[in-house]
Structure 1
Amino acid sequence: MTRNSELTSINCTSCGAGLDVLGGGRIMVQVCSYCGSELDAQDNYKVLRRFKDQKRPQSPLSIGMCGTLYGVEFVIIGLVEHTERWAGRSFTWIDHQLYSPTHGYAWLTLENNHLVFTRRYRGSGWISEHWVETADHPPSVRTTNGTYIYYETTNSTITYVEGEFTWSPRMGERTFTITAMSDAAMLGFSQTGSEREAYRSIYVSQQEAEDGFGVKLDLKTYRVHPLQPFVAGRNFYFVMLSSLVFATLCLALAAIFTTRSGQDVLRNHTVRAADLPVEIEIPLEDNNNLTAISLQGDVKNSWVYMDMELVDPNDQPVFEAGRTIERYSGRDSDGNWSEGSPQTRLIFRPEVSGTYTLTLTVPEQGLWRGAGAVGIPEQPFSQLKVDVRSGLSSGYWMMLLGGLFGAVFLLQYGRKALHRRARWSGTDWVDED
């Protein structure tokens, strides 16, 4: 005997409680929410079995609630809680069975306060347990909607049932499910006893569910769900791509500016230590851009501190600076070592054209006779080479600007990459070396 399609309510044949009939003509059983009796919807709601001591799970969605998802009106007709126990921990989720007179049956799953919409998948492809156990790489299934890569295997049992179902659930019944995931959806290949079914799941945002069911869910999520899409925000891709383009352009310009060699104004001008202090004349033009004064001393296990003063053609000071030239080497238990540099450089920009005067003075100098220098001769400072080169350009600011644009790109790209990593963090696939 089949159920009368015009029924809208019944009385439980076990406890007499009034129950709504919501699920259409394919309903096989109805579990009373008051006494836990499973009633045969195809045979005058005869009691088939009783589920005793059930503890109703907490869910903001309840049987009888109506809502619209993806343009289809559904009503919640049943609740099933699944529990998986692994490594001493328990994981639970609640499947809400949905029914639409025009689109049939579906599921809305609540897991870790995330919502997932699921329907049966009629396409080809299957991932078996044997394939997962013997594969060297994560198994995958290619469909018209994309490629699905193995995500995890679950082995759960039913720990609570209530409402109407198109099948006959049993407390403690075990379901073995292998899931595979694409960028936007998940396929689940489930086996319960001898029955096999494939399902396709997509993420439902809390806002979509609240708008669809007209309720305030107030679900507090604490981690990214595997199916949760990345929320890019306004102009995400424009900012990411444009920052990459500008970073590349700035770094290219920085390289061009840095490699501009300029022209020699003074080349290998030698000054003996005995002649110091000394004044050196440097002819410059105000359009010479950056000008570099380079000094190189013949120090070896010695050092010299040098005062530098530059005045312009109008006898106005351009800068006063001090530089140390030093070079040390030695030998220890780790072998030979060296440190310091016999060269130094100072860069400035001439403001007027004419002859500039550089004054060099050596107020201090000395030798180094450390323990590591035993057997290594030292050489006191005896002469200095002066080079002046103008017409240089600096790529520093372009390099800095390129770095800032690069940081913006990495921030945008990194957000998406971290989200993808979080989505896949729960996979149980382990690559073996």
Structure 2
Amino acid sequence: MLRSKVCKSRPNTLPRMAKAAYYEREEAAMKEELAAKESNHGLKKNEGIYSSLTALNKRSMVLDEENFEDVFLRCNVCKDRFSEPDKSPKILNCHHSFCLACLLQLFKTECEYRHTLTPSLRGMPTAVTLHCPTCRHSFISTEDNLKQLPTDHRIVQLMDFVKNTDRYTVTFCSKHDMQPLNFFCEPCIKPVCRDCTVIDHRENGGHLVMDLEQAMQKYTPILNRALSEMQSESKSLDEKRVALEDSLRRLDRTKVDLLQQIHQAFNKIRLSIAEREREMCDMADSEVSKEKSKIHEKIKLLKSRSANLVEHSKSLQQAKDESNVEDMFRTHQQYREYRASPPIKVKEVDDGILTTFSFTPRDEAGLASKLSNFGIICAKTEHIGPSSTRTRSSSCTRLSRR
């Protein structure tokens, strides 16, 4: 993986043949600066960098902008970048700098803590003791005094230096630390650094190394052509994707219409089946009602005969108890006449014959076969193009469940 860092230069133009020597000097200068940063502490680091600003303005400097900003241009408390006016850098007596907003917040926190103490301390002046967040050096200050602290103009100048310095990107070699990719190996089609040209990409090993700018001039038309082809193919792919998405939307609409047609066809069959079902139910109800009416008539006749018998039995028993010979023989004569009438025939009891009903689904198998083969779904192909040339095929393929 190639590592890229943002570089600042003033000026940013160098002779092509002096690049290697230039980056050697830059590497040595940067190592010296890193050693100075490690050996000094706090303000000394700022002073070391700041004292060489004039020299830096006269030559190019390769540095990690993010790390430079974190170390020198950001408040160590809130980690925000210094800015005017709320985030202006204020320098303390211990020579450490912080933004005004953080110092005011420290003052406010200390005041709130003081107000939680005993009532005897609440009447103290508005000055409180603060501690430097870096070295813990203590000092007494008021809010107005914090606002009047001197601005750290060294940080302001560093911010102005970063703002007005030209930027360009240097890509470093992944194999050799801090070695910029200034050359290009044509057989390997790969940018290389100075160390690569004498280790892995020697010309006596079949490698052809040229200056990176020369390679860019040679391969820029090829890259532009490849870029144009990629853009053209990307446009074509986007057009195809849009066409397929449109096909998806049309298939969704087709599905709605298709399901509606299927529901309409089967609803007609359901209506016919429901109508036939009602007819059969009415027929069954009628036949059962007729048979029930016959049975009710027989029950009524049996009740009437039974009532007559009970009445004759009571009359005969009463005449017998009263020794009324005339009533006895008259009642007996009525009973003989009753006996002379034909008996009531009840086949359900006398013959054990009971009328019942059942339903026989006529041609059920044939109807089920017809329903299983009812309807087909046709897949039609459509040639999509301009509206004037859009055509559809007339062939129909039957689709079945597998």
Range class of TM-score, shorter chain: under 0.3
Between Structure 1 and Structure 2, the one with more helix by share is: 2
Larger Rg: 2
Instruction: Tell me the TM-score normalised to structure 1 length.
Output: 0.21
Instruction: Tell me the TM-score normalised to structure 2 length.
Output: 0.22
Quick one: higher RCO (CA 8 Å, sep 6+), 1 or 2?
1
Between Structure 1 and Structure 2, the one with more strand by share is: 1
